Amino acid sequence: MPTVHDWINNPLAVVDGLFAQSNSSPDWEKKVVEYFKEKLKLNDAHTWVPSLNDVPLYYLKPNSLVKFRCMVQDMFDPEFFMGVYETNDLTSNSKVKCGKYKDITVGGQVDFNSRNTVTSERQTFYCVPIPGESQWAKEISFICQARVVPSTSYVPNRHKRSYEEDDEMDTQPQHSAESHGNTEPKRQETEAPSHDSSSAHCTSSLDLNFPLPGEKGPACLVKVYEDWDGFKLNDMLEVFGILSVDPALSVIADEREASSLLDPTEVTETVEEQRVHSPPPSLVPRLHMLYAQPLVHNNPLLPSSAPENNVHESSLATYTDVLGELASVRAELHTYLTHVLMGDSLAAEYLILHLISNVYSRRDVLPLGKFTLNLSGCPHSSPYTEHLYKVIQQLVPSSYRLCMSLHNMNNQRMVPRKDYTANRLVSGTLQLANNTSLFLDETQLEQGQLDATGVRNITALGNLISWQKVDYDFNYHQMEFPCNINVLITSEGRSLLPSDSQVNLRPTLNPPNLEEYLSAVQVAQVPSQFNKYRIYLSGARALNYTISDEITKAVEEDFVEMRKDDPQSMSAEDLHRLLVVARLLSLSHGQNTLSRDGWMKAKQLEALRISRTQQQKSLSGNEP
Amino acid sequence: MFSPSSQSRKRDPPTPASEDPLSPPSQRSRAHDTSTELQPMPTSPAMDTAAQDVSLFSSPMAPRSVLQSEVDASSPLMYGTPSSRVEGTPRSGIRGTPARQRADLGSVRKAPQVDMHSEPSFDFCEQGAGQRLVIWGTDVNVGTCKEKFQRFLQQFTAPNSREEENAGLDLNEPLYMQKLDEISVVGEPVLNVNCSHIQTFDADLYRQLICYPQEVIPTFDMAVNELFFDRLPDSVLEHQIQVRPYSALKTRNMRALNPEDIDQLITISGMVIRTSQLIPEMQEAFFRCQVCVFNTRVEVDRGRIAEPAVCRNCNTTHSMALVHNRSAFSDKQMIKLQESPEDMPAGQTPHTTVVYAHNDLVDKVQPGDRINITGIYRAAPMRLNPRQSQVKSVYKTHIDVIHFRKTDEKRLHGLDEDGEQKLFTKERVAMLKELAAKPDVYERLSSALAPSIYEHEDIKKGILLQLFGGTRKDFTQTGRGNFRAEINILLCGDPGTSKSQLLQYVYNLVPRGQYTSGKGSSAVGLTAYVMKDPETRQLVLQTGALVLSDNGICCIDEFDKMSDNTRSVLHEVMEQQTLSIAKAGIICQLNARTSVLAAANPVESQWNPKKTTIENIQLPHTLLSRFDLIFLMLDPQDEAYDRRLAHHLVALYYQSEEQIEEEHLDMAVLKDYIAFARTSVHPRLSEEASQALIEAYVDMRKIGSGRGMVSAYPRQLESLIRLAEAHAKVRFSSKVESIDVEEAKRLHREALKQSATDPRTGFVDISILTTGMSATARKRKEEVAQALKKLIQSKGKTPAMKYQQLFDDLRGQSEAAITKDMFDEALRALADEDYLTVTGKTVRLL
């Protein structure tokens, strides 16, 4: 195994090898990337690479190849590093070395004035695991890694060391597999599992800056060497890179007195800034990116953008299956959701449309394809919404339930804000990756006063829904980040937030025990059934869609006709909505184009919905 | 420390800056003992070599000073004009004026320099080593360089200069000589030099300045001082003149900085986000022997002081003690600069850079300021741990500032066309001009505006003209102050007619746009408020949306929902273009030259065609009359329109991106077009256009006069002029011609037709907007009042009567329906005539 997987266990040897061969011609950098890309392409090779998402950091070998599925949370300033440098040791033999993919120089004194020195530039991204990723998505995507873990042998009786002890410990016998000829300090597993008390001093106050409260997982500083302009904030990536956890990287406060001896320029950073930009690598490892694949979605059951990648055959088979029997899967899902929504088949229909909606394009400021659904008529302060959220969580790869309680609205930070002291973007609940389902639970809202934060939060939610953008707060100015988040609002009456479509829930069943009923509905579904639903939802969203000229004409006629009867009943806005519904309805049936039939169905659906809301209006009478 | 080769070369005068062999980029091979690189120097080289070195480099005219050994000899600024620390005596002339250390150039002068990979190639010994000596590692020959710069100062004229700094100077005379004269008058020994001037004068000198600022700027200093004291030998200055170049064209954007820029002169723009406290940086340490009181000075090397271990006088070991009071310090301040939001690609976070300000540049900027800085880009390696030899393979970068220029400062005083001018490439300008030459450019641009919003052609045209704005005119001298050049537009109409979308679009289109909603904004949020800074406990003026959108557009949604209090602040802004603030001890007037684009919904949620605009939106007419154009966005109920609308919307949903782009100009072009027109086109009225305007105005007045109404006021004439100018700007024309006037008239008429038509008569009646009531309404009011009077008179001598009864009587008598409001109004009118009084439910005759 070690011989075959040298490029996984010791990628730096490969890099150094290629560098040595190159004779300082600059194209070696391309060769390195090519080499790893090739290796990863080989059948299933990428599944051998351990994933930082599920393998605990202390099981991973330093300087080995790992992968990490993450979202770009923040972008730090670019940094200059020694791409190539020359060292002198005591025997004054100078050696030219490559500094790419490394944090620290190795061996001897660095000759700063060497003519061989090449300064290069790289960019650092702060990456966090995809926020709100559902449990099932994690389970499926990382299941294949299980067999890799033993190979990165964790030897349980090794010493657990902290950084302070490290200097003296260098002489410790090292793991033979990883020695590769130079004097690079081979420290690993320095920060042992969390019960190790020595790690306490750095864990104490380090905030890993996850967008959602209560998230777990490793955050990572990803060093990007090329094309960093191609990445955007909140992009989902699968990064293949070299893990670097050298404990010397962390700058800890008690080193302060030592640093005062250094150049005064080094004292430019505040303590907060240092903590954020050089956190202990045991908590925030560095990852030197060799290659990154942007993810269009994070559903592990579907092939990602490049086919044959990252999906095992079995599920690929299911994928094609599902697409084949789309109609039946849709019918099953519809029945299931109808049950969950207590017998309301119209709401279930709209819920499906909502779940496959997607901002597919923007016309100047107008996002097209968004479909925010407001499920009104949910019982106030009952566990129903929570159960409903659990059902949705089961279906979509990432989601978040935001209880709009007064306390949450007034206290939660939703909009990311730039913290200039620490020089980072402090995340907020609304910093979410594309196609995350945001479940706003308005039934939790009680009477009371919103303070300034609350008002800002409500405005931010309103903007998110209407324009699919979040204005990040940069203190001196705001910056607009477009997003693509599916928002579902559950409320008692009409929601106070805008929505594209409001469906009033009308239960036909009234089970005596809600919880029992709902769990019974869930148990009735086989797990493989769930997988089908998941594939269906993600797959339908990705389909292409067009409207033929003929249908365009028909739609126009229809619109004019409708306006003739009653101009009030059909405004431009209604047409907008109708077009979106028609689009989603066609997609949900796996059709790539709008048919006359589909248009009629969409119209019927809308008519049904509107009649229901109007009834509701006359019943309750408190609508404006 | 010094390599033999450089040592030998140094013996040839004059190479003043060559004491510092480590500073130049290290492309040249050198045999170095690199182990000393990061450690403190074993001994201070300054002590012995300095005196000797200085004598070698001193320019002929500067005799050696006794105190030379105290001078920072290895500073690149030590070019033979030794600083005399003789205090108290009056001094003049170059030798009397102390040189001031330039920490901006020298603070990390000895730090190992990052190797530069691509350096401009230079011919080292083009004309033979004997004739042309250059500063080590560069191609700079001090003598030639100095001479060139002096020639530049003496000869350069900038006849077309429009910079504010040059105001009051004779542009046909050598510019910088006048500035030198200014220095002698003002006494501020700083000469700011625009790099682009140098470039036009001598491209080679410019290249040298950009590539080797550390060597070239001291040479410039030397040149300027010689020149200055030659001309004005009797001047007294605080210290020698320092040259501060600005506007280097090397780099404009923080994002574009790369390793090749290290140690070069760069200019970048950005926003200050944080400033540190003042850091006193020791330049020179003063040691005194505890035994024999022998004094010695040690210069600080890379932030470290090599403490002398042995007293040179009495040879006692470890007897030297640092005397803080007599050490020399310089001021230093760390400033964090963030990329300006305009420079950023979408979806990325802004970059930041560390900037160091030295000496008098400290505390020149505050967080929040937009500045352009010119400085030298530096990089220094980072050490992990002083005990280890390992180095983090990352460099720390920062910029040593030489020159600050605030970009927003001038906005307080006047126009800043120059600072805001976006740099357009020649091709771009050619492309824009080509576009402007097309006959249908106006239509094209207006259809490019918010293509997702259907039709409303005239509204889009109005907004387009608003984006361009009129020409600024200044009548301050005749006492009228500035004329408003901004065009204000109000959109009113049914809800759901994409007014908000239009506003959002405009807000996204203009660089300095603000978007607020009437419901959520308070008067304070729009204007400015005073708050206490939590840190400094100082009162700080925070500006609101209107001030922030100075020179931009302020989009106000739900204008009607605004409280009266808030709306009242708009009165001043919309006509005088200023904001007066008097609160918490701060009284000031801020500029708010903003165009207002407002949207209002009708009070009854649906537009009532039977009512006038004022009645529909319930806004005070004083405010309405300040809008140049008021448009109604109604849902037209017409089949053809519906069909086109449906087609448009369906197309929106299925057309691919490419198709859309083919049809419309993209937003970036539109943005550039507007920016270019705003900065470089300033149309003036032509004779023929003025005639046309006069005629138009007279015509407008005439329409009304026939029916006893006034249908135009001077305000409308001003609106017409602005619109005509904006239209000329759209055509990139420097003259307003009659076609511009025609379009302005047409648009104005369209807007009036929509908003100022009297629903009762169907005539356009400007008084609806200017007085809040149409002439017919006023006439009718009078009629009712007269009828009421007659009624009362007919009742004979009854001193008092019941209110309700009177109302019923009047209603019974009149043919037209009389509402309670009308009745009340009539009563009030009669009360004004002192004919009767109304007390409670009774009406008394007087």
Q: Are strands A437-441 and A486-490 parallel, antiparallel or unpaired?
A: parallel
Which of A88, A229, A571 shows the shortest C-beta gap to B345?
Answer: A229
Residue B82 sits at φ, ψ, to 5 deg, of -65, 140
- Would the CB atoms of B344 and A99 count as touching at under 8 Å? no
- Would the CB atoms of B650 and A547 count as touching at under 8 Å? yes
- A603 or A172: which leads in pLDDT: A603
pLDDT band for position B84 (cuts 50, 70, 90): very low
pLDDT value of residue A480 = 83
| Residue A480 near residue A315 (C-beta atoms within 8 A) | no
Residue of A562, A556, A603, A557 lying closest to A582 (CA atoms): A603
CA dihedral over A193, A199, A202, A206, signed as positive or negative: positive
- Would the CB atoms of B32 and A113 count as touching at under 8 Å? yes
Q: What digits encode the pLDDT tens for the residues A568-596?
A: 677 777 888 888 898 899 888 888 888 88
Residues B71-90 have a mean pLDDT of 37
pLDDT value of residue B456 = 77
Residues A544-561 have a mean pLDDT of 81
User: CA–CA separation, A337 vs B471, rounded Å?
Assistant: 63
Contacts of A116 in chain B (CB under 8 A): 115
| Residue A33 near residue A200 (C-beta atoms within 8 A) | no
Residue of B566, B573, B461 lying closest to B516 (CA atoms): B566
What is the token pair recorded at B184?
A: 């002698």
Contacts of A364 in chain B (CB under 8 A): 450-452, 505, 508, 667
Mutant choice from A366, A480, A547, A586 vs B, greatest count of B C-beta within 10 A: A366
Domain ranges of chain B: 142-246, 264-406, 773-845
Please determine, for residue A536, whether its predicted confidence score (pLDDT) is greater than 70: yes
Average pLDDT of chain A is 76
Closest approach of B112 to chain A, Cα-based (Å)? 6
The domains located in chain A, with CATH, are 11-147+209-246+281-294 (no CATH), 313-536 (3.40.50.300), 543-623 (no CATH)
User: CA–CA separation, B56 vs B44, rounded Å?
Assistant: 19
| Residue A319 near residue A301 (C-beta atoms within 8 A) | yes
pLDDT value of residue A161 = 42
| Residue B620 near residue B742 (C-beta atoms within 8 A) | no
Instruction: Name the residue of chain A whose CA is nearest to B345's CA.
Output: A229
B247-273 exposure pattern, b = at least 16 Cβ within 10 A, e = fewer: bbebbbebbebebbbbbbbbbbbbbbb
Which of B37, B262, B385 shows the shortest C-beta gap to A248?
Answer: B385
Which of A263, A361, A576 shows the shortest C-beta gap to B380?
Answer: A263
CA dihedral over B686, B688, B689, B690, signed as positive or negative: positive
pLDDT value of residue B643 = 77
- Would the CB atoms of A109 and B389 count as touching at under 8 Å? yes
CA dihedral over A491, A493, A496, A502, signed as positive or negative: positive
Q: Does the domain formed by B142-246 have CATH 3.30.1640.10?
A: yes
Q: What digits encode the pLDDT tens for the residues A267-306?
A: 556 677 777 777 888 888 889 988 888 888 787 777 664 4
pLDDT value of residue B166 = 60
Residue of B148, B198, B157 lying closest to B176 (CA atoms): B157
Q: What digits encode the pLDDT tens for the residues A346-372?
A: 899 999 999 988 888 877 677 888 899
Could you say which architecture CATH assigns to the domain B773-845?
Orthogonal Bundle (1.10)
Q: From residue B495, how far is each of A26, A346, B364, B604 by CA, in Å?
A: 62, 29, 50, 10
The pTM (predicted TM-score) of the whole model is 0.71
Closest approach of B177 to chain A, Cα-based (Å)? 38
Closest approach of A353 to chain B, Cα-based (Å)? 17
Evaluate whether ipTM surpasses 0.95: no
| Residue A398 near residue A300 (C-beta atoms within 8 A) | no
Instruction: Name the residue of chain A whose CA is nearest to B650's CA.
Output: A552
Q: What is the interface size between A and B, counted as CB pairs within 8 Å?
A: 236
Residues A442-453 have a mean pLDDT of 81
Least confident interval from B358-372, B523-537, B710-724: B523-537
Contacts of B380 in chain A (CB under 8 A): 263, 265
User: CA–CA separation, A243 vs A262, rounded Å?
Assistant: 28
pLDDT value of residue B128 = 41
Give the distance between the most distant pair of CA atoms in chain A: 96
Mutant choice from B369, B393, B642, B669 vs A, greatest count of A C-beta within 10 A: B393
Which of A112, A546, A579 shows the shortest C-beta gap to B649?
Answer: A579
Residues A317-324 have a mean pLDDT of 65
Mutant choice from A25, A76, A119 vs B, greatest count of B C-beta within 10 A: A119
Contacts of A563 in chain B (CB under 8 A): 637, 639, 642
For B145-185, what is the HEC assignment?
HHHHHHHHHHHCCCCCCCCHHHCCCCCCCCHHHHHHHHHHH
- Would the CB atoms of A571 and B346 count as touching at under 8 Å? no
Mutant choice from A363, A455, A468, A551 vs B, greatest count of B C-beta within 10 A: A363
Which of A78, A112, A249 shows the shortest C-beta gap to B381?
Answer: A112
Contacts of A454 in chain B (CB under 8 A): none
Which of B111, B385, B635 shows the shortest C-beta gap to A258?
Answer: B385
Which of A114, A259, A560 shows the shortest C-beta gap to B646?
Answer: A560
What single DSSP character describes residue B27?
A: T
Contacts of B349 in chain A (CB under 8 A): 74-75, 233, 418, 425
Contacts of A545 in chain B (CB under 8 A): 654
- Would the CB atoms of A563 and B639 count as touching at under 8 Å? yes
Contacts of A115 in chain B (CB under 8 A): 26-29, 115
pLDDT value of residue A354 = 92
Share of chain A above pLDDT 90, in %: 3
- Would the CB atoms of B114 and A117 count as touching at under 8 Å? yes
Q: What digits encode the pLDDT tens for the residues A325-339?
A: 788 888 889 999 888
Residues B339-349 have a mean pLDDT of 76
Helix (H) or strand (E) run with residue B580 in it:
strand B578-583
pLDDT band for position B753 (cuts 50, 70, 90): confident
Please determine, for residue A155, whether its predicted confidence score (pLDDT) is greater than 60: no
- Would the CB atoms of A420 and B32 count as touching at under 8 Å? no
Rg for chain B, CA atoms, rounded? 37
A122-136, A209-223, B384-398, B401-415: range with highest mean pLDDT: A122-136
- Would the CB atoms of B344 and A479 count as touching at under 8 Å? yes
What is the SS3 assignment for B768? helix
What is the token pair recorded at B624?
A: 């309405």
Average pLDDT of chain B is 70
Contacts of B645 in chain A (CB under 8 A): 559, 572, 575
Contacts of B504 in chain A (CB under 8 A): 365, 467
Closest approach of A138 to chain B, Cα-based (Å)? 27
Instruction: Name the residue of chain A whose CA is nearest to B256's CA.
Output: A78
Residues B439-468 have a mean pLDDT of 78
| Residue A210 near residue A267 (C-beta atoms within 8 A) | no
- Would the CB atoms of B645 and A423 count as touching at under 8 Å? no
Instruction: Name the residue of chain B whose CA is nearest to A459's CA.
Output: B520
Instruction: Name the residue of chain A whose CA is nearest to B520's CA.
Output: A455
pLDDT value of residue B757 = 66
Which residue in the block uniquely carries the two structure tokens 């009495």?
B314
Q: Which CATH number fits domain B264-406: 3.40.50.2020, 1.10.3720.10, 2.102.10.10, 2.40.50.140?
A: 2.40.50.140
Q: What digits encode the pLDDT tens for the residues B698-710?
A: 877 776 665 555 5
Which of B28, B117, B389 shows the shortest C-beta gap to A108?
Answer: B389
pLDDT value of residue B34 = 37
| Residue B113 near residue B263 (C-beta atoms within 8 A) | yes
- Would the CB atoms of B115 and A79 count as touching at under 8 Å? no
Which of A115, A481, A559 shows the shortest C-beta gap to B29?
Answer: A115
Closest approach of A81 to chain B, Cα-based (Å)? 4
Residues B787-809 have a mean pLDDT of 76
